[in-house]
Structure 1
Amino acid sequence: MRLLAISTSTPRGSAAVFDGGKLIGASVYTDLEGHAERIFLAAEDALRAAGVSAASIEAFACDIGPGSFTGVRVGVAATKGMAIGRGAPLAGVGSLEAMAAEAFASGQAGPHDLVVAALDAKKQELFLAAFDVRGALCWAPRHVPRADVAALVLAGPGASLPPGGLLRVVGEVAAEDPALAAFVLRSPGTDLPDAAAVGRVALGRLVSGGDFDPEYIEPLYVRPPDAKPMASGGPS
């Protein structure tokens, strides 16, 4: 299966092309405010690096968040448009899930470990979720005040480790907390979500079968957006 995956939920945007489970092309940039313009160029660059055409893509994958509200919307809308236009399946992968999956896939986390993934949620908060090696959600995505993160992680996921397992934490923002420093793993693929990790998770789902209708893919914001709908007849 030839798949194109993208990630736009953080300042780092990326696109990756897979063929038969092998990563054959990728492109990365940093521009939080420019995803709408740059993600399609990144996809073109990844396809060019892979030496394949857009017409050969059989499936799509995207990072559905949480993260930047605008970035998540751009990524979901872009891949839904491409998938619907091609009549191809689309798999959505959480940003935190992709980071945790990369820790296991790269060998940084062991098969009995528990990985807590963290992203900057702004407003002095972090997005957090915890996963095991199967990708099972052990701690549902949530937004937590920065001041409470270490205590919650150590008392929550850290207190319910399987036998022989270790607590691991991924996300560049987690490294800023001295209380978590001893648990933090660092690498490009675990610091922030990446299209390559999104693609690997998506491929595992797609090959197992199921309904991957693009119409059903929706952003995972976790926290309501700041913008509120304008009341009927009210001021903008």
Structure 2
Amino acid sequence: MLVLAFDTATPAVTAALHDGERVLAESTTVDARRHGELLVPTIETVLREAGVSLGDVTAVVAGSGPGPYTGLRVGLVTAQALATSLGVPAYGVCTLDALAYGSGLDAPFLVATDARRKEVFWGHYADARTRLSGPAVDRPHDLPGELPLVGAGARMYAEVLGASRLVDAPEYPYAGALAALAAAALTGPGLTGPGAAEPGDHPVLGPPLPIYLRRPDARVPSPPKKVST
């Protein structure tokens, strides 16, 4: 097994390789404006560091969001294109699940990423592998309870949510955690609970399709107004 995983649903452009037992290589650049420029070089970097070729990859996994429209599409389209060219399966994993998995927490908590428009994408977890609800998008002050918080979205609104609730855990869904979660799902039980992906052979894995929780900012221009002569 050689899983190539990457995520572009947050400002972190991140990629990793996992052989079913450990992360072989991982590379991340935090830059919210250059997903399209950075993803392929990042993939090339992890392949080179791991000493393998793209043809050795047996599965491609991409973070499926939720996230901003443009960045999210970069990763998912790349995953579909690579999988088609290599003749291997492509999967999508909820970006919040990867962030939760990377936290390593074993008690209830919330994950939050920046959704822009003064909102956050969030999910409620019983532990690092079990999503109870979400993903959802809301104003920070609408998030439930006094549970610990993980993610850059939580840190961004620490004054609203309470700085004491912030957990010392990764702010972004690094691809090493994404690859490890996907590899675990491919070799055994994955994420569990009512918030997991669609039922199937791999509960944590779904199709490489975007999770949209609201309409994109971009709009098709309306027809020009008629001007009478």
Q: Which residue of 2 aligns with 1:162?
A: none
Within 5 Å, give how 1:2-81 maps onto structure 2: 2-81=2-81
Displaced runs of 4 or more, over 4 A: none
Q: Which residue of 2 aligns with 1:226?
A: 217
Within 5 Å, give how 1:67-146 maps onto structure 2: 67-104=67-104, 109-110=105-106, 113-133=107-127, 135-146=129-140
Q: 2-side partners of 1:186 and 1:215: how far apart? A: 29
Cα distance per residue 1:34-65 (max 9 Å; x no partner): 21121010000001111111111111111111
TM-score, scaled relative to structure 1: 0.81
The partner residue of 1:173 within 153, 156, 161 is 153
Q: Which residue of 1 aligns with 2:184?
A: 204
The one-letter amino acid paired with 2:5 is A
Pair 211,85 (structure 1): closer, same or farther in 2 beyond 3 Å:
farther
The structure where helix makes up a greater share of residues is 1
User: Would you say the 8 A contact 2:2–2:56 is kept in 1?
Assistant: yes
Alpha-carbon distance, 1:211 to partner: 7.3
Cα distance per residue 1:144-186 (max 9 Å; x no partner): 113x24xx321xxx5xxxxxxxx32101231332343222113
User: Would you say the 8 A contact 1:92–1:202 is kept in 2?
Assistant: no
Secondary structure of 1:221 counterpart: coil
Question: How large is the Cα RMSD of the aligned pairs?
Answer: 2.3
Alpha-carbon distance, 1:192 to partner: 1.1
Pair 67,186 (structure 1): closer, same or farther in 2 beyond 3 Å:
farther
User: Would you say the 8 A contact 1:115–1:168 is kept in 2?
Assistant: yes
Cα distance per residue 1:53-78 (max 9 Å; x no partner): 11111111111111221111000000
The partner residue of 1:185 within 161, 167, 179 is 167
Q: 1-side partners of 2:6 and 2:220: how far apart? A: 29
Mark the runs of 5 or more structure 1 residues left unpaired by the alignment: 159-166
TM-score, scaled relative to structure 2: 0.83
Alpha-carbon distance, 1:122 to partner: 0.8
